[in-house]
Amino acid sequence: MRLQFAARLSEDFIMAAHEQPPVQNALGETAPKSAETQKKILVIDDDPVTVKVLTAALTTNGYAVYSARDGSEAIGIARDDAPDMLLVDVNLEPHDAFGGAANFDGFQVTRWLRHMTAKDIPAIMISASDKADYRKYAAKIGAETFLAKPISNAALLQTIEARLAGATRVGA
């Protein structure tokens, strides 16, 4: 079942990655963002297929992407490279290879990262389960949006762009 979901998710993201044109300059030419202007997104998900697909979709659209497989790794990355946005899976499993001794779920990781950086990093919570409780708790901890997998590339990019532009929270 998980393999089928991952394959469907991968196909959806890869096909959708071609829906959005790359970043263009005023002349309509493809213009990669410089390292100074690229927004940094920290993707936190324990599924390597999801991480690869999200990373491909985001980098294709001009974002600098950092990825973590668990809460411990995410905290380490956030200390070194302050992200502009978090994209966090609700259900995370610890990975010993990355020092994941504690089992933090995505909500705990989000709360901790926002507290640690002393700023309200925009956070988008994602999950394969579209439970009403998840949506309510995401809103309670201050996440800007909750998206259920599989996520269309267009919806993901619109949500990210709106949140980074400072738009107010939408129905989480």
Beta bridge partners of 24: 30
* Alpha helices (runs of H) in the chain, residue ranges in sequence order: 2-17, 48-60, 71-80, 106-117, 132-140, 153-164
CATH numbers and ranges of domains, the chain: 2-20+37-143+157-164 (3.40.50.2300)
Give the model's pLDDT for residue 130: 80
The separation between the first and the last C-alpha atoms of the chain, rounded to the nearest angstrom, is 27
Is this model's pTM higher than 0.75 or not? no
**DSSP secondary structure string, 9-45?**
HHHHHHHHHTTSPPPB-TTS-B-PPPTTTPPEEEEE-
Chain segment 32-74, per-residue pLDDT in tens:
455 667 899 999 999 999 999 999 999 999 999 999 998 888 9
Between helices 48-60 and 2-17, what is the axis angle to 10°? 10
